[in-house]
Structure 1
Amino acid sequence: MIRNILQAIFCAFIVLVFQPAVAQTTYCNPMDIDYKYNFEQLNEKISYRSGADPVIINHKVSGKGSDYYMFVTIQGGYWHSKDMINWKYLTANRWPFEDMCAPAAVSVRDTLFLFQSTFESRPILYSVAPEKGIWEFYNRWTPRLPKDIGPWDPAIYHDPDTDRWFMYWGSSNVYPIFGAELDHSKKLAFKDQYKAMFWLNQYEHGWERFGPNHSDPFKPFTEGAWMTKHNGKYYLQYGAPGTEYNVYANGTYVGDDPLGPFTYTPYNPVSYKPGGFATGAGHGNTFQDNYGNYWNTGTSWIGYNWGMERRIVRYAAGFDKDGQMFANTRFGDFPHKMTTQKWKGKGDELFTGWMLLSYKKPVTASSVMDTMSAAKITDENPRTFWVAKQNKPGETLTIDLQKEQEIKAVQVNYSDYKSDIFDNKPEVVYTQFKILTSNDGKKWDVVSDLTQEPKRDRPCAYIELAKPVKARYVRYEHIYVASPNLAISEFRVFGNGFGKAPETPANFSVIRQKDTRNADLKWEKVPRVIGYNVLWGIAPDKLYQTYQFWNDEPNAFELRALNVGVPYYFGIEAFNENGVSKMSEVVGVK
């Protein structure tokens, strides 16, 4: 009898310990992938993880279904996923002669094509087994274009209705976005002379102005071309005005032919996220998932170690009934559901409603190096960070949420402070930690333990808890990070409080300036609020743009992202730990 009881207990223990992790159903920007250490600054001895200029391809193979492949600047390989949540890093049997910058990729008839940014002659690769890392040369050399022309930041487009091939490219504050037709019968050589598609015009397009919040008179940059065909129209997309600022965005021109002429769309930018934690949304691509939903990818700015230190983001996107292209960045760096069906409208139903619980909450650390205080891990700024005195197991960060909340997810964002890593060996470069919760700060429960998972590097680790936990305190307990210093820029806690959502901000006003690229916004602050979303667009039912503000920031702001000659409509909402207010009445300005 006793033996049977012991056997039953042992079996139950085995099931408990070795049961598979609960499948994650949500995601959070920046993307949780194993970003690689960047060798652009090898000669300057600057070491940091980075990822930029993403291209995600839904690669469909006859009889085998669809998988997703993601190509990112200077990563030594690429990522493969079946669900867009779990991404596996792959290396290839054949890779260009130097690592790829701003790669182009396209899926055509069971074949995946890949090309790199270049100012020289370089080959186009292809694969019929990209999940195995097997690539071959499609051609050996593309013709070299004139000096400084490229093709840098290329995009290869295949029109399925006409079987014509095209290339678009450009990365400059001097040259335009270029385009040319490719000759498939000659291994995608240039068929005709390339020509200009369009230039930036910061004098009429406020969002194309350079600098933080479009405040710098320096001539802006355009780059990151991408083509999407929708309902017979060709949407030629581009990034502007510069990757090293919070206002990096994607815009689009529209034409009836792949080589134009193209018309500027008055609702630009298409994808724009200047506020919040993960700022910047430019230079990515647009693709459809297996349910027919559109997504827009982009590059988010870190910029501590180097101006080009970045991460990857993606947002629900699409086209409305009038053909207007949009990307939904509202609460864009809060947890979202990964869809398993066709969504409605602009994808607002993907937002989980899990609010940020950690903003400016008190933090205690087991140790602090110099002035790198623990308070910096809750300020929602990726360029400030805490550093422990030593990078050793057992170092902790403890956030006091100040009252019991229902915790549903956390995100740990590491910073590369004085890093000395110049390789990406997976047996060395990985992250491990535990997340614990408590109601009294004395008795702690482990709610996540990365030592129980396969080792991998997670600079922007997003952990969805197996089930919600009611607690006041949340603790990060360190196990391992490859860098010589343990540095964390943000420890973000998501879930819901047990109080009421805030009231709608009152007296919201918008006054357009004489320079109509600008408008002055103002509102009354609301008690017990974390922040606000200002929403705007070119019609009352097209408020596709979002600018997020924190409540401890001024309640007046100069928005400098408008297009000359375009009427706009604005609304505002407030949010706290408990939820989101109703949106204000819509205000129109000419």
Structure 2
Amino acid sequence: MKNLAFLFLLLVGLPALAQRQAQQRTYCNPMDISYRYNFEQLNEKISYRSGADPVIINHKNDYYLFVTIQGGWWHSKNMVDWKYIVPNKWPMEDMCAPAALSVRDTLYLFQSTFEQRPIFISTEPEKGKLIFYNRWMPRLPKDIGPWDPALFHDPDTDKWFMYWGSSNVYPIFGAELDKSRNLTYVGNNPAAAYKAMFWLDPYQHGWERFGPNHSDPIKPFTEGAWMTKHNGKYYLQYGAPGTEYNVYANGTYVGKDPLGPFEYAPYNPIAYKPGGYATGCGHGNTFQDNFGNYWNTGTTWIGVNWGMERRIVMNPAGFDKDDQMYVNTRFGDFPHFLPTQKVDTRPGLGRPGQSENDLFTGWMLLNYKKPVTASSTTDTMRAELVNDENPRTFWATTKNKPGETLTVDLQQECDVRAVQVNYFDYKQTIFDSDSTVYTQFKILTSRDGKKWDVAADLTKEPKRDHACAYVELEKPARARYVRYEHVYVAGPTLAINGLRIFGNGSGKAPATPGKLTVKRQKDQRNADLAWEKVPGAVGYNIRWGIAPDKLYQTYQFWNDQPNTFELRALNVGVPYYFAIEAFNENGVSTLSAVVDDQSGLAKK
């Protein structure tokens, strides 16, 4: 009878579990994976979760995510649910900025190194099984690497290549690999095999300048090489100008041969997100999902506990009809649908006949600078800091105990669709992620602040760590108040740097902003922007590109920020076109008329 009762409960519970999984149709940056605690600063006694330099590989229609210094990798069948995999063997040290590649039935894996290290392979990466493919890659000259490597197999020629580089002195390098010698350098003479692909040129490319909004004179860094072949052309991608600050981005050079010569793409950077909550998207890779859609991964920066404290993002990408590569970061840290077919992911112009990003849900941020109260607060880590869209400010409780709460007043009834809880490691003492490291909480909603309904309960799912927990509600919750109720997080402290609530209000989207002006400076890398604020707006997206119908770049601003800005990310000699849109809790305005940069370049 007990067995029959258990079987009955199992059969009853399975549809509910399947329904919960089916409801998770969306994702939100930063990615919701079990970021590992970083042991790098153990001697300094600085504890923090981190993840950077991502590579997502589509291998046999499953997805594998490799990240710097994580002791393993993640496996997913849908790009939503990521299971952490511990391999059966690992190199002499943990992998930093690993190279990964799927060719036929085999996954190849290689680490960043300045020493002699092996290439690993696996035909069962979902089981964590690794074997040696070769024992040693020949040593390169001192300081050359290969650090931040990328492996590339050309399916049309069956030739193999490696690209690498992480420096503000050296360029991105490339070399052909000899398949007959187990993917060692051609001729087994690395000094003769490798050559420079390109250097950074911050004097011509404004976005390659270092610092916040490209304002620091430090010589910039190039890193994170990746190769994509499309329509017979080779797109050699790279990260710049450095992982710190908000302007970490990906660019590309384009050539007709895997080892060049390469030409700088005038529409660079291809992946750029300097505004919003998850700023920066550099040093990642480009891959295709099972429907043929392109994606670009990258690293977003926190940098409070340690300069290299980071998280992972992924954004829709692709190539337009002119083979221009793009990465769509418009509302890049708001919820997006995961596609179930091939879609056009270009950021559109919001007009009939134009693409309008089929993946953006239209669920808006509901809680920016809204009133919030907490059950307890430590020092100056106030509750309202979870609503300022700044990952470097945070709320902390007096004790890490169940029942601590954050309650947000949305100031109007809204349809709440999803919640993201971003934890922060404040005075943590954890240096290794084990079975005690997991997160649990409940999300409650209320229309009047008195009667509360449970909208989500993470105590009912298997235990795992959600440093950037994203919960799509099974059905929209009509609510004015949203409450986070704490259950468990490992370590002595509880801190949250972002409680982000998404959905739609019942009012109107803001009007289209007017009077956008763009004046290119004498230094063509810079332009002065100004626009007219509109009533009811929460923020604005400045959109720009190299043609009126290619406004692929986005810089997000909040309404309480100034409505003037110096954009310092432009390429010398390239004409640009700009437009603006406003958004609030209810939606997004139509896009303004497109204006040029008043430089005269567009008329030449």
- 1:41 Cα deviation from its structure 2 partner: 1.4
- In structure 2, the partner of 1:432 is 440
CA contact (8 A) 2:345 2:359 kept: no
SS in 1 for 2:407: strand
Q: Does 1:421 align with 2:430?
A: yes
2:68 maps to 73
Aligned residues of 1:436 and 1:474 also touching (Cα < 8 A): yes
Map 1:400-419; keep pairs closer than 5 Å.
400-419=409-428
**Paired residue type of 2:273:** K
Cα distance in 2 for residues equivalent to 1:109 and 1:390? 52
For 2:479, which of 466, 471, 474 is the aligned residue? Answer: 471
Instruction: Report the residue type matching 2:86 in the other structure.
Output: T
3-state DSSP of counterpart to 2:300: strand
Cα deviation code 1:542-582 (max 9, x no counterpart): 00000000000000000000000000000000000000001
Q: Which amino acid aligns with 2:518?
A: V
Q: Distance in 1 between matches of 2:32 and 2:416?
A: 19
Change in Cα spacing, 1:17 to 1:374, as seen in structure 2 (3 Å) is: farther
RMSD value over aligned CA atoms?
A: 1.6
2:351 is matched with none
State the shift of 1:147 in Å: 1.1
Which deviations, in whole Å up to 9, do the C-alpha atoms of 1:320-349 show, x marking residues without a partner? Answer: 111100000000000000001000251611
TM-score (norm. length: structure 1): 0.96
1:16 Cα offset (Å) = 7.1
Q: Secondary structure at 1:582's aligned position in 2?
A: coil
Deviations 1:518-555 (A, max 9, x none): 00000011111110000000000000000000000000
1:271 paired residue number: 271
Instruction: Give the CA deviation at 1:270.
Output: 0.3
Structure 1 gap ranges (5+): 1-7, 61-65
SS of the residue 1:463 aligns to: strand
2:567 aligned residue: 559
TM-score by length of 2: 0.94
Cα shift at 1:17:
9.9
- Map 1:277-356; keep pairs closer than 5 Å: 277-346=277-346, 348-356=357-365
Tell me how far apart the structure 2 counterparts of residues 17 and 74 of structure 1 sit (CA, whole Å).
36
Instruction: Report the counterpart of residue 42 of structure 2 in structure 1.
Output: 42
Correspondences of 1:138-537 after superposition (within 5 Å): 138-191=133-186, 192-346=192-346, 348-425=357-434, 427-537=435-545
Contact 1:31-1:312 at 8 Å conserved across structures: yes
Percentage of identical aligned residues:
75
Give CA-to-partner distance per residue, 1:177-223, whole Å, 9 cap, x none: 00000000001111152000000000000000000000001100000
* Matched residue, 1:97: 92
User: What is the SS of the residue equivalent to 1:375?
Assistant: helix
> How far does the alpha carbon of each residue in 1:133-159 deviate from its partner, in whole angstroms, 9 at most, with x for none?
100000011111111110000001000
- Are 1:132 and 2:141 counterparts? no
Aligned residue type for 1:438:
S
Q: Which amino acid aligns with 2:136?
A: W
Separation in 2, partners of 1:34, 1:587:
44
Once residues 345 and 474 of structure 1 are traced to their aligned partners in structure 2, the CA distance between those partners, rounded to angstroms, is 32
Does the CA-based 8 Å contact 1:52-1:299 persist in structure 2? yes
AA of the residue aligned to 2:520 = R
Q: Which amino acid aligns with 2:135?
A: R
Q: Which residue among 575, 578, 588 is the counterpart of 2:583?
A: 575
Moved over 3 A (4+): 11-18
Secondary structure at the aligned position of 1:350 is classed as: coil
Deviation at residue 19 of structure 1 after TM alignment: 2.5
Distance 1:221 1:319 in 2: 26
Whole-Å Cα distance in 2 between the matches of residues 541 and 453 of structure 1? Answer: 45
Partner of residue 4, structure 1: none
Structure 2 residue 550 is the aligned partner of structure 1 residue 542: yes
CA distance in 2: counterparts of 1:470 and 1:15, whole angstroms: 28
2: CA distance between counterparts of 1:324 and 1:569? 16
**Secondary structure in 2 matching 1:19:** helix
Looking at structure 2, the residues matched to 19 and 332 of structure 1 have their Cα atoms a distance apart, in angstroms, of 31
> Equivalents in 2 of 1:372, 1:17: separation in Å?
42
**One-letter amino acid of the structure 1 residue matched with residue 133 of structure 2:** Y
Contact 1:51 1:311 in 2 (8 A): yes
Distance in 2 between residues matched to 1:19 and 1:557, nearest whole Å:
50
Confirm or deny: 8 A CA contact 2:317 2:345 kept in the other structure: no
Residue identity in the other structure for 2:111 = Q
Q: Which moved more, 1:106-115 or 1:344-353?
A: 344-353
Residue 118 in structure 1 maps to residue 97 in structure 2: no
* Deviations 1:48-78 (CA, angstroms, capped at 9, x unpaired): 0000000000112xxxxx1111100000000
Q: Is the 8 A contact 1:530 1:550 kept in 2?
A: yes
**Distance of 1:334 and 1:266 partners within structure 2:** 28
Deviations 1:472-494 (A, max 9, x none): 00000000000211000010000
Tell me if the contact between 1:320 and 1:345 (Cα under 8 Å) persists in the aligned partners: no
Asked whether the 8 Å contact 2:328–2:345 carries over to 1, the reply is no
Aligned to 1:58: 58
Task: Tell me, yes or no, if the aligned pair for 1:502 and 1:576 is still in contact at 8 Å.
Answer: yes
Deviation per residue, 1:288-339 (Å, 9 max, x gap): 1111110000001111111110000000000011110000000000000000
1:229/1:18 Cα in 2 relative to 1: closer, same or farther (>3 Å)? Answer: closer
Distance 1:406 1:109 in 2: 46
Query: How much has 1:12 moved relative to structure 2?
Result: 9.9
State the Cα deviation string for residues 254-308 of structure 1 (Å, max 9, x = none).
0000000000010000000000000000000001111111000000111111111
User: What is the Cα deviation at residue 39 of structure 1?
Assistant: 1.6
Query: What is the alpha-carbon distance in structure 2 between the residues aligned to residue 18 and residue 111 of structure 1?
Result: 35
Aligned positions, number: 577
Higher mean C-alpha deviation, range 301-310 or range 563-572: 301-310
How far is 1:468 from its partner? Answer: 0.2
**8 A Cα contact 1:117 1:153, kept in partner:** yes
- Alpha-carbon distance in structure 1 between the residues aligned to 2:11 and 2:181: 60
